[in-house]
Structure 1
Amino acid sequence: MPGVAPPSDIGEPLGPLPQEFAAVLRPELPSLIKEIGLEVTRAYPEYARLLEGPYAQGIRIGVEQNISVFVDQVAEPTASSALRDEMCRRFGRFEAYEGRSLDQLQGAYRLGARIALRRAKRVGRRYNLSPTLMLTFADALFTYVDELEALSREGYLEVRTAGADQLDTQRRRLLHLILAGSPVPRAAVAELAEQTCWTLPGQVTLVALRPPADITSALLDNDVLADLAEPQPHLLIPGPFDERRQGMLDAALPGAHLTIGLTVPLANAADSLRWARRVLDLIDTGIIGDAPTTRCEDHMVTLWLLSDRALLEQLAGRELAPVAHLTANRRDRLLETLHAWLATRGTAAQLGEVLDVHAQTVRYRMRTLESIFGRQLSDPERRFAIEIVLRAMRIEPNGG
């Protein structure tokens, strides 16, 4: 715990860090997390590649937890560290799955601590903090790093000593290599597949699960690769996802909620998992309805339209600028009419039926739209851009 530092080398115990120190540190966290991430990935390129793969979100969560929990425990020494503990153990497990020692991970922890200490010194000068307080901070920080390393060692040894589960460990490592994509030579994937008696398929379908994944592994088909660790459990199913595979998952994961990615070539497995996880996010935000099983293939247009929200907002700002000055009610009525016209190209009478208004009202609105948008409505590319924006707004009304 960083709240109380261990005895110093001269035998006199250093006092606890004052809780107010957390208030000084907390504003530094976002930029400090970013700085540590840049320095660690520069020193350890392997971690840089991982941050571009399907495990990126989980890794970032772990890094943020490692840093923020230190500050939380300064403010409140009894603050929970359960998620941080599990993420550290998972980092250790991952190093074991990849067949590495803990040297790189321990080096990354210590590098992060040095960067944090460097930042704390700048903060100390800014607030004129005493040398004794800064020494206490350094002592508590490196004690905290020892704690992180011990937790990661637990996860590492858990994998390395589980002889009976060696095949499962190798197959999880195989799954990691497949999802890592192009940085990993295909020969390495093929060699590990041969060692685990797993036939390399031409196509695969990835499945994202909502944690916790309470699964009966014995009921999974023998060719299914699985990583059930939180926060992002997932499965790889060779070939397309059919009714037989659905029955298998229903039996192995009763009551679970999961999303089925698109079937893709083996080399593109990470894309299938990324889309499946994105659908889970859209379910969590209420854009896609929840169900025990949701297939990405049923929501491909939604995935595409909402794939880059910031860019969509820029496009909406450009294409809908002509109506930005109107009142909200008038703008909504006009855009509803414009969307109906772009989608159907119907007559005024037909649009009136769709919108439940008189045909004359439709004609008036269309004349207004033509005067406001001008040449935009006669340019095919601009019409298409407007239709994209309006379709996205109907999917996510508050996204623009």
Structure 2
Amino acid sequence: MTETRAGRAHRPGPMPPQVIAILSAELPSLAEEVISEVRSCVAEYARPTRPPEAARSGRPPIRVSVEQAMQAFVDQVAGSRETHERRDELCRALGRSEAYEGRSLDALQAAYRIGVQVAWRRVAQVGRRGRLSPAVMTQLADALFAYIDELASLSVQGYLEARSRSADELVDHQRRLLRLVLRRPGVPGTALEEPAAEAGWTVPGEVTMVALPVGARCVRAALGGDVLADLGDTEPHLLLPGPFDASRREMLVAALPERRSVVGLTVPLADAADSLRWARETLALVEAGVVEDGGPTLCEHHMLALWLLSDGALLDQLARRELSALARMGRGQRLRMTETLGAWLEAQGNAVETARRLRVHPQTVRYRMRQISETFDEQLADPDSRFVLDAVLRAHRLRERRPSLR
């Protein structure tokens, strides 16, 4: 529907100047009343979304739209021939916003109904106070209701335009937005408002990144409408607004037929790149067989392994220094010593628990520990050295699960 030129051609003639003066005086308080009534009666507008036009002005779209629409109405009944392009585009933007948010037009149409009811109630009040004639009141009523129909038509036009945009175009907007979110250093949240509106996305406070294997199959239709996805050939990933909960798990299971994925930590939006980095590092451990595939696998369950294996070269240097006393031993003896020492450290020096872990007799543990104590005398006496030994031995046990990580 193109303008509404037909509707404009049948507009009534201009109102007397005294009527225009009365209406103009009511605009500021009427705007507040309309906005308040819409927000209290229509839940979707209690915390309105911010399409690009309103985001640039720094003001909520409902306020901008109401003020522009009411002033344009007064101008119109005064006989102005101005086209009000700004007002028309705001009406279309409201319609597009509803489509981008995945909602029907019901909320917007309800807002229009409430707005015209409040406006007519006020017009009737000032008409009685100003003793306007029935003919003028009838003319005002015809003009007001025809005007609201015109605005609603513009919003429907914007809604249908947005719905007719190709899915590929929206996906492209979302992919570009996702890359902007992951940019280093982090982009301020305010800089995301306009591209987020173009992608039909509400900027969250926290996000959870998900790393997918290269070539992973993903059923886009099963993803939530607020999920951003980059399913390119290299390092595909998803962004989930908010924390990872049971409903998000069900969504991933439905969207990923091959099940394998790694869920990063939930972090502030500015730290999304860190969440993705940890998810990718954990995915590498899953693919290497070091970490069990949880389908999806949660980073928060493997943070120690991530930390211990985060720098293989540094780990080699640390092991060379801390385990230098074992260098002269044969491989079999060295393995028994490190295995026993690692179990003893995990058991906090309890020989019985150490024996249970190793499946040997406690006396065997005590015998081995006497040899170990002679070899690592100073290191076992120092708390910091014991901590380092424990970390090195844990990392080596993780590495033993897959030789390629050595």
Interval containing the TM-score (normalised by the shorter chain): 0.5 to 0.7
2:179 is aligned with 1:176: yes
Name 2:284's counterpart in structure 1: 281
Give the distance between the partners of 1:305 and 1:196, measured in 2 at CA.
Answer: 39
SS at match of 1:385: helix
- Kindly state the Cα deviation for residue 304 of structure 1 after the two structures are TM-superposed: 1.1
2:345 is aligned with 1:342: yes
- Kindly state the Cα deviation for residue 371 of structure 1 after the two structures are TM-superposed: 1.3
Give the distance between the partners of 1:164 and 1:392, measured in 2 at CA.
Answer: 46
Name 2:168's counterpart in structure 1: 165
Amino acid at match of 1:175: L
Name 1:248's counterpart in structure 2: 251
Deviates further, 347-356 or 265-274? 347-356
Please list the CA deviations of residues 82-110 of structure 1 after superposition, one character each: whole Å capped at 9, or x if unmatched.
Answer: xxxxxxxxxxxxxxxxxxxxxxxxxxxxx
SS at match of 2:329: coil
2:242 is aligned with 1:239: yes
Q: 1:354 to 1:168 in 2, by over 3 A?
A: closer
- Kindly state the Cα deviation for residue 318 of structure 1 after the two structures are TM-superposed: 0.8
Alpha carbons 2:252, 2:296 under 8 Å: kept: no
Name 2:388's counterpart in structure 1: 385
Alpha carbons 1:216, 1:253 under 8 Å: kept: yes
**Larger CA Rg, structure 1 vs 2:** 2
Q: 1:286 to 1:235 in 2, by over 3 A?
A: same
Alpha carbons 1:181, 1:267 under 8 Å: kept: no
2:272 is aligned with 1:261: no
Please list the CA deviations of residues 146-167 of structure 1 after superposition, one character each: whole Å capped at 9, or x if unmatched.
Answer: xxxxxxxxxxxxxxxx966322
Give the distance between the partners of 2:353 and 2:209, measured in 1 at CA.
Answer: 43
Please list the CA deviations of residues 297-325 of structure 1 after superposition, one character each: whole Å capped at 9, or x if unmatched.
Answer: 11111111111111111111111111111
Give the distance between the partners of 2:218 and 2:373, measured in 1 at CA.
Answer: 58
Give the distance between the partners of 1:247 and 1:164, measured in 2 at CA.
Answer: 24
Give the distance between the partners of 1:285 and 1:313, measured in 2 at CA.
Answer: 19
2:301 is aligned with 1:298: yes
- Aligned match for 1:371, one of 355, 371, 374: 374
SS at match of 2:360: coil
Name 1:357's counterpart in structure 2: 360
- Kindly state the Cα deviation for residue 351 of structure 1 after the two structures are TM-superposed: 2.9
SS at match of 1:264: strand
Alpha carbons 2:211, 2:237 under 8 Å: kept: yes
Please list the CA deviations of residues 255-314 of structure 1 after superposition, one character each: whole Å capped at 9, or x if unmatched.
Answer: 342111111110110111111111111111111123431111111111111111111111
Give the distance between the partners of 1:336 and 1:375, measured in 2 at CA.
Answer: 19
- Aligned match for 1:312, one of 302, 312, 315: 315
Q: Gaps (5+ residues) in structure 1?
A: 1-161
2:153 is aligned with 1:189: no
- Kindly state the Cα deviation for residue 191 of structure 1 after the two structures are TM-superposed: 2.4
Please list the CA deviations of residues 129-175 of structure 1 after superposition, one character each: whole Å capped at 9, or x if unmatched.
Answer: xxxxxxxxxxxxxxxxxxxxxxxxxxxxxxxxx96632221111110
Amino acid at match of 1:187: T
Give the distance between the partners of 2:355 and 2:251, measured in 1 at CA.
Answer: 49
Give the distance between the partners of 2:356 and 2:219, measured in 1 at CA.
Answer: 53
Name 1:30's counterpart in structure 2: none
SS at match of 1:213: coil
TM (normalized to structure 2)?
0.56
Alpha carbons 2:261, 2:295 under 8 Å: kept: yes
Give the distance between the partners of 1:256 and 1:340, measured in 2 at CA.
Answer: 34
Q: 1:215 to 1:326 in 2, by over 3 A?
A: same
Give the distance between the partners of 1:395 and 1:261, measured in 2 at CA.
Answer: 20
- Kindly state the Cα deviation for residue 183 of structure 1 after the two structures are TM-superposed: 5.6
Q: 1:319 to 1:166 in 2, by over 3 A?
A: same
Amino acid at match of 2:251: M
2:399 is aligned with 1:396: yes
- Kindly state the Cα deviation for residue 195 of structure 1 after the two structures are TM-superposed: 2.9
TM alignment of 1:124-139, pairs within 5 A = none
Amino acid at match of 1:391: R
